[in-house]
Amino acid sequence: ATSRLLVNYQEPYRSQILDYLFKPNFGASLHILKVEIGGDGQSTDGTEPSHMHYENDENYFRGYEWWLMKEAKKRNPKIKMIGLPWTFPGWIGKGENWPYDYPDVTAYYIVSWILGAKQYHDLDIDYIGIWNERAFNSKYIKLLRYTLDKHGLQQVRIIASDRLWEPISFVLLLDSELHGVVDVIGAHYPGTKTVPNALLTKKKLWSSEDYSTFNDEVGAGCWARILNQNYVNGNMTSTIAWNLVASYYEELPFGRCGLMTAQEPWSGHYKVEAPVWITVHTTQFTQPGWSYLQVDGHLKGGGSFVALTDGLGNLTIIIETMTHNHSQCIRPPLPHFSVTPQRATFYLKGSFYKVETLQVWHSRLGFESGNSSLFQQLHPIKVWRGSFSLDLNVDEVYTLTTLKTGQKCGCPEPPPPQPFPSNYKDDFNIRNPPFSEAPNFADQTGVFEYFVNASDPGDHVFTLRQVVIQRPITWASDADQTISIIGNFKWVNMTVTCDIYIEKARDGGVFIAGRVNNGGIYVRRAQGVFFWVFADGTYRVTSDLAGEEVLMKGLSGVRDNAWHTLTLNIQGTSASGQLNGYPLWENVTISKPSNGWAAIGTRSFEFAQFDNFHVEA
């Protein structure tokens, strides 16, 4: 759920951001885009909607991943596409929190997503994963391969298991049938190392999720080091960064752990961070299908190099000399090592002996000085009798290449940053919305979608509706309530108003909230000021999403299947609430938290509608 805010950037800024990520020979020029197959559950920074909320439901226009894949493909038709589920809709498990009890159902569900990508968006998915960072099931993987083949999807490759090198490598060596259907072993955060069993399988080895580090200079150093050393130390021929672009509220988990930052659609501000320019050193001068030359890429004075060729005479060498303290990734811990300035001499042999000059691109990450030089073209190097030497300082990246195509784009400066508008309204009155979700609302449990209320003749034809009515097969600790957050985490005093419509009789309920202080994988422990009304005619004020810390309760007269207006006013240490414009409770003392987002949500996984949302902070 990391590209949530990207979709509602205005043009031309949205296209500029996409160009920086995907346009060849422009910015990051990415080779691979891996997306979540939304499963209605919390997957780190929010929930992504499933293409099948319910068993009899199929819709290939929800969420933003279809759009993102199409935008990537439009800029680079050769980009490789990967799909991987984190969560699954509850019906897949028939009540159990497990996707493998009915493997035929799960395989049908995943293959539907691949077929839908092609049928509705003309997208070819190249690789499909099993279940992100959770157990794999050999029977399911074999059935998935069978189901893919049955639907003419022989070209879709299977990657497993997006967790650790083991037990998947060991199982592949024992089970020849499984060995025949898994094409790539994908490990997460391998720390540039692999294991003997993985090498013994003779499979392609990928770091299928890595980086996840704050995108400052140290993040760039981490990325430079692992892009090389995942191959040099671990024989991995692909490294995939989580995440593409930090387009989610920064105070959610792992804020700004993207290659670039675009978390302000309301202002148009974005930032092309240093990791983008580190990426370019590899991506602009190699392509999928190029081969690593099998040389020992450790440099004597510390640091590393890799060399790749297209097999047609082109050669690209990428060198990095990142020091320990300037290249620590978020995980795993990095053992100490030292890097010193050095002179390195390279010898080109075989068909490369004929190479006369190499183009040179250079980056220096400036930590103490604070001024980095990123992706600058230097004078070409003359190769004399198959060799050349280079003086390497610390914290540098060099690309030496026969290709003359490299370029650093010049784009206009984006607008300056602005906080989220302090007066924000959404009436959800949009007949043909470009996306299924309303802008800036970031669902943290459940899924909130635009809805056309055909039965309502009045003011509430177009609403926002919570649509997940069964707890999903979870990946994280989703709340027992549904919740969508919006706004500025720094907000202290605020008035939140929203029309609400409880659909579930007897035990249904909804809330509006302010000062909400947690989301993502920590959503269960969210605190704030929550104003609840229930179908049984009662209300509550609680200081937590779980509804356990009750500050006030009483009768409201609210009923299900009728519209009511809730207003929550928080000033300093005091809060009050109105129902349909009349005071319902007041002077409730608030001790914590001191600030946070606004939010809406429901008591359980139930249908409910919201309209005319307004926050003034």
Bridge partners of residue 538, in order along the sequence: 555
Q: In terms of residues, how long is the chain?
A: 617
Catalytic choice (58, 133, 503, 616): 133
- Quick one: CA dihedral 258, 263, 265, 267, positive or negative? negative
Question: Could you tell me which of 216, 256, 260, 268 has the C-alpha nearest to residue 414?
Answer: 268
The whole-angstrom separation of Cα 516 and Cα 237 is 42
DSSP for 287-298, please give it. -BTBEE-----B
Give the DSSP letter string of 127-154: EE-SSTTS---HHHHHHHHHHHHHTT-T
- DSSP letters of 99-117? SSSSHHHHHHHHHHHHHHH
The CA–CA distances, whole Å, from 151 to 144, 154, 480, 562 equal 11, 8, 37, 46
CA–CA gap between residue 420 and residue 263 (Å, rounded): 10
| CA atoms of 246 and 268, how far apart (whole Å) | 14
How many degrees, rounded to 5, is the angle at CA 490 between CA 489 and CA 493?
110
Amino acid present at 169: S
Question: Is residue 449 flagged as an active site residue?
Answer: no
* Active-site residue, 209 included: yes
Q: Which residues does residue 425 pair with via DSSP β-bridges, in sequence order? A: 614
SS3 7: helix
Are 483 and 601 contacting, i.e. CB atoms less than 8 angstroms apart? yes
Catalytic residue from among 48, 65, 71, 209: 209
**Dist. CA 211–CA 256, nearest whole Å:** 12
Q: Whose CA is closest to 512, among 423, 395, 603, 396?
A: 603
**Residue 235 to residue 116: CA distance in whole angstroms:** 34
- CA–CA dist 362, 383 (Å, integer): 18
Instruction: Tell me the CB-side half-sphere exposure of residue 158, using CA atoms within 13 A.
Output: 28
Question: Tokens 């309209």 appear where?
Answer: 611
What distance in Å separates the CA atoms of residue 594 and residue 61, rounded to the nearest whole number?
38
> Nearest-CA neighbor of 99 among 110, 88, 109, 108?
88
Q: How far is CA 102 from CA 92, 97, 273, 284, 471, in A?
A: 7, 12, 44, 44, 17
Which residues are CB-neighbours of 91 under 8 A, at least 6 positions away? 52, 54, 55, 470
Q: Which residues pair with 363 in a beta bridge?
A: 397
Neighbours of 589 (CB within 10 A): 10
What's the burial of 336, exposed, middle or buried (CB within 10 Å: 0-12/13-18/19+)? exposed
- Can you tell me the distance from the alpha carbon of 497 to that of 615, in angstroms, rounded to the nearest whole number? 6
Q: Which residue has the tokens 């104003």?
A: 531
- 8 Å CB contact between 577 and 586: yes
Q: How far apart are CA 460 and CA 563, in angstroms?
A: 9
Residues annotated as catalytic are: 133, 209
